[in-house]
Structure 1
Amino acid sequence: MFAAKAFSPFENLASQLIPHAYEGDDGSHDLAHILRVFKNAMRIQAKEGGDARILAAAVLLHDCVAVEKNSPLRSKASALAAEKAAGVLTELGWSPADIGVVEHAITAHSFSANIAPETLEARILQDADRLDAIGMVGAGRCFYIGGRMSSLLYDPLDPSGENRPLDDRRYVIDHFQTKLFKLADGFKTESGRALAAERDKRLRDFLAAFMDEI
């Protein structure tokens, strides 16, 4: 499979897992997202350590169950993905111990699940995934998801939400304040925090330019 080559040095693992890696038509949680998270994870792992094979499997399967952002099941998405991942890896002959580490990393990566990552691989996956939610890519994904949810770009009378409750389901740019600007403070690895600081600045610069234009 051509796509698997992008996940070097885990091409064989990727060829096995990509068919299970994502579902549906969500362009913010597709193969491109998985590949970006993989690159982030490998960049962090190179400095922080951890089992790269375990981490690669967790990255490839972390979004293997699709749950829309506005679904009442959203907080359970990572647990559902972990359960599916365990089944896939069991069929591939992985040991129960290794599967357990992958399961925990997947379950704990989600912001909405609010589960503390207890292993290095889980901390790296969480950081790698959250890096894709900030910076310029994060801004692009935010607007893309807003379009899927039929949200408005902003409140024309009070864009910054100074005199109204923030509502990121109705206004896309409210999501910057309700979630995206909070992410950089929660990174779990030193390498992840350094990368997050750069991307957080880009995200804040983007919103400042956006507000200037409107």
Structure 2
Amino acid sequence: MGYIGYIERAKRRFPEISDIANIVEAEMLRYPSASHDILHVERVLGLGWKIYETENVGELKVLTLAILLHDAKRHEEETSGVDHAFASAQFAKHLLSEKGFSETVIEIVYDSILSHRYANRRVPKFVEGKILQDADRLDSIGAIAIARLFNHNNELRRPLFDPRIKPKKQYDGVSETYLNHFFEKILKMTPNSFWMETSRKIAEGRYEFTLNFVRKFIKEWYVME
């Protein structure tokens, strides 16, 4: 038997969410790059399940719904500038209500999605939100994260690096160079900044890899090696 992805596993484990997963897949096709496509959702779901299974906290189906829907309206941020966390949370609330989910489930999913975005600096109210936030941020450090970064918004034509442009002290959602994004956001996701112990352990190797990449980049830029 071939590889079965986590979204497909979720459909098989929770058949009642299959329609929602299909809707998410259609929404994610509207995003213009691989940085936040359906495979990002797939990876975050895999990380979220791993954290859940190790920590044994929260409700897996609710966590799965939050992860599936967390970037559903990411494409709207690219076209209109709306905060994708808010837009996705609103979308999830209406969709889950239409599908007959309880107010409790809707509240957890809504807050979890609203809180997942790094730039918003929100603390999730529920453990499912903490797992989603951790899983989403784990996909923002490491080898895949570096590939995602250089794939994201290339149409903006921002430079790889420009020594004249200093990193912002506080990330505001947009970095002026790709390397600055590491200093403004990614390298601030230190292992001890994650909620769950499992997340912190996964983050250690990914963070070290990312830090070494930035160091190597700078050395090559200034022809130091």
Say yes or no: TM over 0.5: yes
User: 1:81 is paired with a residue of what secondary structure?
Assistant: helix
Distance 1:198 1:6, change over 3 A: same
With structure 2 as the length reference, what TM-score do the two structures score?
0.82
Count of aligned residue pairs for this structure pair: 205
* CA distance 1:127–1:148, change in 2 (3 Å): farther
> 1:83, CA displacement in angstroms?
0.8
**Structure 1 residues 104 and 92, CA gap change in structure 2 (3 angstroms):** same
Percent identity reads 28
For residue 118 of structure 2, give the secondary structure of its aligned residue in structure 1: coil
Q: How does 1:127-138 map to 2 (within 5 A)?
A: 127-138=134-145
Matched residue of 1:169: which SS? coil
- TM (norm. structure 1) is 0.86
Change (3 A) 1:109 1:51: same
Unaligned residue ranges in structure 1 (runs of 5+) = none
Query: RMSD value over aligned CA atoms?
Result: 2.3
1:177 equivalent among 166, 180, 183: 183
1:104 alignment partner, SS class: helix
Q: Aligned pair 1:77/2:84, yes or no?
A: yes
* 1:27-176 map, 5 Å: 27-48=34-55, 49-66=57-74, 67-68=76-77, 72-73=81-82, 76-155=83-162, 158=163, 165-166=166-167, 169-176=175-182
Tell me how far 1:118 sits from its aligned partner: 1.6
Cα separation, 1, equivalents of 2:116 and 2:16: 20
Cα 1:189–1:104 change in 2 (3 A) is same
Distance 1:111 1:175, change over 3 A: same
Structure 2: which 5+ runs fail to align? 169-173
Question: Within 2, Cα distance between the matches of 1:130 and 1:84?
Answer: 22
Contact 1:5 1:11 in 2 (8 A): no
Q: CA deviation at 1:165?
A: 2.3
Q: CA deviation at 1:28?
A: 1.1
